[in-house]
Amino acid sequence: MPVTPRIVVLAGGVGGSRFVLGVREALRRRGIADTAEALTVVVNTGDDLWLSGVRLQPDVDSIMYALAGVNDTERGWGRQGDTERVNAELQEWDAGWPWFTLGDLDLGTHLARTGWLRDGLTPTEVLERMSRRWPLGARLLPMTDAEVDTIVVLEDGSRLHFQEWWTRHRATLTPSRFDNPGIDSASPAPGVADAIAAADVVLVAPSNPVVSIGPILAVAGIRNVLRATAAPIVGVSPIIGGRVVRGMADVCLAAIGVETTADAVAAHYGARAHGGLLDAWLIAEEDAALAAGVDGFGIRSIVTPLWMTDVDRSAALAESALAAAGV
């Protein structure tokens, strides 16, 4: 019988789901049949929003759809083969946001979620119920049950929801900071602290450090549990050769004064030995020259291919991350 390690992954949407698919695949290749037993994913809910009366959880859905194999891999979000009839009708009503498309199948998810929330289920319970539909091979937990939607504060002090800034303005308005009102008093969702405390390894996915991993770490209590766990904490750089692979994480990093380089992101997370987050940090071969600098922060650097262009490469990356933790 293969040993079943207990793995916790902290993740955002797209980078997060590619990485989580890799971890699940790596576990399968080790002969672990019940990967859900091994793999817990703590998902960013800072991207969540209310729109046209329904609750959207973009990062949660990206990961759920990807694990279920029903995600639209070309577009990068939503459901494969979705249609937009309801969306067109909403636009005729001048309801919702004209620049934010809601697919019909996707809306089914949001309606189910919203109905259950209104019945009194917590977001954790809703996600548990949603996870029964498909054999996901992972346990998904929201970072918190509290609503702590990300707000972007611009230089002139005006505030807009993260989704408006990201999707409508494509991150072209210069942010001065990101706020998650209420996050200081939000608690980790049930199961999150226990999973981290009992883990053999905690993996930080190559997700946006500011608006995906940032909110997870900002939930009151999560940093302390991470600091206290006996599990090694291994992160994967979302930056390769000084560039974000996809998305606009560079704008987010600039807003908090962090350079778009693999070593600057490592320094931003910090070494656990010095009160920060990381024990080890995977950087790309393109960034091999940065390895000594990362080691100098007190974080063990590992140079390995970081491109998650297919599930084989994602699984190899996940194996490197597990190996870095001796798992």
- Residues in contact with ligand GDP, total (CB under 6 A)? 25
Strands (E), the chain: 7-11, 39-43, 49-51, 54-56, 139-142, 151-154, 159-161, 175-179, 201-204, 233-236, 239-240, 243-244, 280-283, 300-303
25 binds, among ligand GDP, Ca ion, none (CB under 5 to 8 A by kind): none
Nearer to Ca ion, 12 or 142 (CB): 12
Interaction between residue 188 and Ca ion (CB under 5 A): no
Q: What minimum distance in Å lies between the beta carbon of 248 and ligand GDP?
A: 8
Is residue 14 classed as helix, strand or coil in its secondary structure?
Answer: helix
Nearer to Ca ion, 32 or 258 (CB): 258
Interaction between residue 137 and ligand GDP (CB under 6 A): no
Q: What minimum distance in Å lies between the beta carbon of 141 and Ca ion?
A: 16
Identify which of 306, 315, 308 has the alpha carbon closest to the alpha carbon of residue 25.
Answer: 315
**Would you give the distance in Å from CA 157 to the centre of its chain?**
27
Residue 151 to residues 110, 120, 147, 159, 173, Cα–Cα distance (Å): 21, 26, 12, 6, 13
Interaction between residue 206 and ligand GDP (CB under 6 A): yes
Interaction between residue 234 and ligand GDP (CB under 6 A): no
Q: What minimum distance in Å lies between the beta carbon of 292 and ligand GDP?
A: 20
Interaction between residue 206 and Ca ion (CB under 5 A): no
Q: Beta strands 39-43 and 7-11: pairing type?
A: parallel
Using CA atoms, how far apart are residues 184 and 22, in angstroms rounded to an integer? 32
195 binds, among ligand GDP, Ca ion, none (CB under 5 to 8 A by kind): none
Q: List residues near ligand GDP by CB under 6 A.
A: 11-16, 18, 59, 62, 206-208, 212, 236-238, 240, 244-247, 249, 306-308
Q: List residues near Ca ion by CB under 5 A.
A: 12-13, 47, 59
